[in-house]
Structure 1
Amino acid sequence: MRGKRRAPRPAIPWRSPWTPVVCLAGAVAFGALVAVSFLVKEVAVVVDGDRTEVRVVAATVREVLADAGVSVGRGDVVRPAMPESVTDGATIEVRRARPITLTVDGRTTRHLVTATNVGDALAELDLTPTAGQASAPPDDAVPLSGMELSFYTRRKVYVVAGTSRISSRTTARTVREVLKQKGVPLRRGYVVSPPLRSFPADGTIITVTPPRTMPVRPDVLRLDWAALAECESHSDPEAYNPDGPYYGMYGFSMPMWEAVGGMGLPSSWPPEEQTYRAQLLYQQVDGRWRRQWPSCGDSLFG
């Protein structure tokens, strides 16, 4: 075998002049992957209560929301704030702004709220649901497009009908609603102040006066009505006789009172109103007074 030359050995790859370069590039790539893995964060993004988990390498809240495809508009509330940095496991909350056209006791204003239901929207606007009446239930949703909302506060108003003065805590929108709530009947010709369609603000005094559309004849006016009142009730406009029952200065029964346009109880009205209704009653029965005032009717004639 002496004298034979050995065949050349194949080149070893790692002994190639490019080997150091390849190794360095691999090390850099591996290091980059390791570094990126440490930068990736798991963040929860909650938009109006809907929660989404995202994996991001973003450094701030603004960047996380951009990566998650969540846009932020005027009036939206973001917590933490947009410029703040984000750590792994963080939660970002976004509450969308909703336009509200709010009318409180007839006065309209416009607002942006982030509440998703009517009750929370009222609270955000410093209105307590129990302090009044809203046009929508507290659990109703506030759409992202917004809504119109009316709220009537609980106000104290007074109803004056004759000598009766009724106080009421009400959320009524009109004078008519107040009278209906208090059971005050209205008939054609009754004079109501303020007008029935007006808004009853806090402290409003509502007066109700029956009409005096029918004139009293002069011969009826000349009768001694003071003597009749003295005989019937000692001229007490608030008199009450349970036998009928009978009410007021002239001992009205309710059918008698209502037949001449009286409203409510006769005894709740001032003497002038009771006298006017008694005179109408005399005219209506065409002078046949004995059925109305069998014991005292004679006093009309002195």
Structure 2
Amino acid sequence: MRGKRRAPRPPIPWRSPWTPVVCLAGMVALGALVAVSSLVKEVVLIVDGRQSQVRAFAGTVHDVLAEAGVSVGYGDLVRPPAHEDVTDGSTIEVRHARPITLTLDGRTSRHLVTATNVGDALAELDLTPAAGKLSAPPDDAVPLSGMELTVYTRRKVYVVAGTNRITSRTTARTVREVLRQKRIPLRRGYVVNPPLGSFPKDGTVITVTPPRTIPIRPEVLRLNWQALAECAALGDPQAYNPDGPYYGMYQFSLPVWQAVGGMGIPSTWPAEEQTYRAQVLYQQMGSRWQTQWPNCADRLFDPVGSSR
């Protein structure tokens, strides 16, 4: 009895003539995938303070920014520099430049900063926010379009008003504002130097003098008052002679000073005020004016600019 014939076995796939080709293609694809994945870099990108994570095939910072669509122009800050290579895990920071119109103590200039807030912008410009008065708070944002910023620094100025000598640390914008801060009264006719609307720079001396209601005749103005002051007190507005006592560059006694409208002590006033009061005295005394300066009166008639 003949046995049953076995059914033919199905063909084994790997024994197909195409099997080696398929395997080779798969290996090539896998190798390519591994190679490509090794070229992709994870990069942390910070643009104007905003952080994101990007994947890039690029080799340099410049290439990464180009792939991410981040433009860079004049004045912008890029860290690390654009020509440097990037590695997986690198961090790239970009800060775009912002125009600042800065008015500092009345003087205006223009700058580019990469800071995103006012405080950091001032730090870039070597200014300390706490050192003065700002037109915007330090934490205000600086827009890409730029902004105008006004800063008044804290300055030391001096006020001389009669017997008052005041030192002030101020951020005031005008002389008038300084006087208001120090509660210096201004009455009609008072002379203020520098003018009330001027800017008080560091070291400015502000003088407030009482009204000058008595006009000085031209021939009196032409006399050599500087020569008289040099003779009487070596031209020193703060001179003091205890014998009288006598004060200032024209050696006033207090009764005489008050008689010609002077206030306080003569030596506390600037030279201009002392000269005016001396001229008033000359006019009021008439022919007796020499008794005020018995040893120096003739110096008034020295040619102006001459010296003995």
Deviations 1:206-232 (A, max 9, x none): 1112223479xxxxxxxxxxxxxxxxx
Structure 2 counterpart of 1:208: 208
Deviations 1:86-142 (A, max 9, x none): 111121111121111112222222111111111111111111223322222212211
1:42 and 1:54 in contact (8 A); partners too: yes
Structure 1 counterpart of 2:75: 75
Structure 2 counterpart of 1:121: 121
Structure 2 counterpart of 1:29: 29
Cα distance in 1 between the residues matched to 2:255 and 2:159 = 23
Deviations 1:113-172 (A, max 9, x none): 111111111111111223322222212211111111122222222111123222212221
Structure 1 counterpart of 2:195: 195
Cα distance in 2 between the residues matched to 1:133 and 1:62 = 41
Q: Which AA in structure 1 matches 2:196?
A: L
Structure 2 counterpart of 1:103: 103
More off after superposition, 133-142 vs 111-120: 133-142
Please show how residues 271-286 of structure 1 align to structure 2 within 5 Å.
Answer: none
Structure 2 counterpart of 1:171: 171
Cα distance in 1 between the residues matched to 2:115 and 2:265 = 50
Gaps of 5+ in 1: 216-233, 238-247, 253-261, 277-302
1:158 and 1:206 in contact (8 A); partners too: yes
Structure 2 counterpart of 1:59: 59
Question: Tell me, what secondary structure is at the counterpart of 1:212?
Answer: coil
More off after superposition, 191-200 vs 13-22: 13-22
Task: Tell me by how many angstroms 1:10 deviates.
Answer: 8.9
Cα distance in 1 between the residues matched to 2:159 and 2:213 = 23
TM-score by length of 1: 0.65
1:99 and 1:147 in contact (8 A); partners too: yes
Structure 1 position 132 matched with structure 2 position 132: yes
Gaps of 5+ in 2: 216-243, 248-253, 281-308
Cα distance in 1 between the residues matched to 2:255 and 2:50 = 72
Structure 2 counterpart of 1:219: none
Task: Tell me by how many angstroms 1:15 deviates.
Answer: 6.1
Deviations 1:43-73 (A, max 9, x none): 1111122111112222221122222222212
Q: Which AA in structure 2 matches 1:81?
A: P
Structure 1 counterpart of 2:42: 42
